[in-house]
Amino acid sequence: MPLKINPSITPKKLLPKITRLFELSADKILDLEKSWDPSKGTPVFTIKGKYTSRGWTEWTQGFQFGSALLQFDATGEKRFLEIGHTNTIERMAPHLSHIGVHDHGFNNMSTYGNLWRLMREGRIPHVESEKQLYELALKVSGAVQAARWTRTANGKGFIYSFNGPHSLFIDTLRSLRSLALAHQLGHVLMGERDQKISLLHRLLDHAETTARFNVYYGSGRDAYDIHGRVAHESIFNVNDGHYRCPNSQQGYSPFSTWTRGLAWAILGFAEQLEFIEAAVKDEELDTWRAAEAQPQSSSRCGDGRLAVMTFLRSAAEATADFYLEQSCADGVPVWDTAAPNLHRLGDYLRKAADPYNAWEPVDSSAAVIAAQGLLRLGNYILTQGDRKKGARYRQVALTIADTLFDQPYLSTESKHEGLLLHSVYHRPNGWDYVAPGQKVPNGESSMWGDYHARELALLLLREARNQAYITFFDGAKPHFAAVL
């Protein structure tokens, strides 16, 4: 493994960097709130240090307003709560009933979900009418997301991407949070003839389909079947529901791994492991398992949990291990594992990533998303008794955080509106800005990169202060200090 794990770094040792990050973050949130014209759409990524929009889908608006809520959580400054709350109420409602996207977990969990969490934790005053509003919003969001459904040949299915009903994206794993929370709040999706469709069952079907088709396990599925490799997109025949082939929208090829997609997989699977472990009953999982069992087979109590946790953990560990193998020594990856000019970088994996190299861009947003996933996966595995593996994943996450929460990745210039530098959006489409004198994109930020930098920093800040562990759901949480 080329990645060089720092064995001595801890959340407490990261506190100076985390404090600095939130100091810089405060001004950047306030400046963007003051300068951004909502008529331009949603800020997506920076060009020459200034946020710009991109009329594809408005999938980053939740990150914009959710960032203010994370800032409040970290600092207690109420002006950020006001920014996040007001903009959520005034601007986010269309996202709740948006039937054309797979992004509900990004937009609505970052806003309504964070507000609900803050109230549940007692960080903001309990106002019953507000709580009911958040819960209604989250129920609607989860059901609308679950309704975007393609049935597969084996009777299961998936939430299809904005590309259409043939398309299963790896990204959508993190949108499963919207189904999970809506289910926990007691909601269902109502279908024809008043059929009650379980949001938990759709979550599990989608997660299992993704684990089966978008993740590779070195089992000889095709000539490029490397353990842990991830396909950005899986293509299905919508006439009969059969799988056809891998594809990629934002990566280099269907047979390589777009590293931000890999990061979404690590985090998405890890969060679902936490949710199922803490908030879902055995009988609920047994019911799902029984629905897929053959007529002649019998399902015993606990079979469902074993089946679910097995495929979730297998996918989580496969993708996590592949990330460790494909990242540079400091934990930051190049944007795709088979980017066409990697051969010009020599033995690049054994060195710290160079965002200013002349051949291929790195992607800090992939690194910061993966770091949270590795942290959560490590925490989960620790609770299962595997101290060595759990501690290893955690230490990789801390190593990545140590890299990203400092220059050249932390944006310290007040004129630059981004927080996390060297993020890449859509390399194949050529959307990323290449500065004069440079050959590849660098020095720019993205709304998802900035948001997830704040989210990771907050998670580590809470741990360093021995405060409550953050989850998107309501449920028993392990006290990780007791198992570290």
Query: Mean pLDDT over residues 29-58, rounded?
Result: 93
pLDDT digits (tens, 9 = 90+) for 110-150: 999 999 999 999 999 999 999 999 999 999 999 999 999 99
Which residues contact residue 136 at a Cβ distance below 8 angstroms, ignoring those fewer than 6 apart?
Answer: none
Q: Which amino acid is at 344?
A: R
Task: Identify the CA nearest to 428 among candidates 234, 253, 228.
Answer: 253
pLDDT digits (tens, 9 = 90+) for 198-226: 999 999 999 999 999 999 999 999 999 99
Report residue 174 as tokens.
């993190």
Query: Mean pLDDT over residues 83-92, rounded?
Result: 98
CB 44 within 8 A of CB 25: no
C-alpha distances in Å from residue 302, one per residue of 68, 287, 288, 297, 422: 41, 10, 11, 15, 45
Query: What's the pTM value of the predicted model, to 2 decimals?
Result: 0.97
As beta bridge partners, residue 196 has 190
Task: Identify the CA nearest to 274 among candidates 309, 306, 302, 301.
Answer: 309
Looking at residue 12, the DSSP 8-state letter turns out to be: T
ω into residue 408 within 30 of 0, thus cis? yes
Reported confidence tier of residue 297, pLDDT bands at 50, 70, 90 = very low
Q: Which amino acid is at 67?
A: S
Looking at residue 482, what is its pLDDT?
Answer: 45
Instruction: Annotate 224-249 with three-state secondary structure.
Output: CCCCCCECCEEEECCCCCCEEEEECC
Q: Give the separation between CA 219 and CA 222, rounded to whole angstroms.
A: 8
Task: Identify the CA nearest to 432 among candidates 262, 263, 250, 299.
Answer: 250
Question: What are the backbone angles phi and psi of residue 197, rounded to the nearest 5°?
Answer: -105, 120
Query: Mean pLDDT over residues 335-362, rounded?
Result: 97
Determine how β-strand 167-169 pairs with β-strand 233-236. Answer: antiparallel
Query: Mean pLDDT over residues 270-277, rounded?
Result: 98
Q: At what angle do helices 387-404 and 447-464 cross, to 10 degrees?
A: 120
Chain length of the chain: 484
Q: Which domains does the chain have, with CATH numbers?
A: 15-482 (1.50.10.10)
Quick one: CA torsion of 270, 273, 274, 280, rounded to 10 degrees?
150
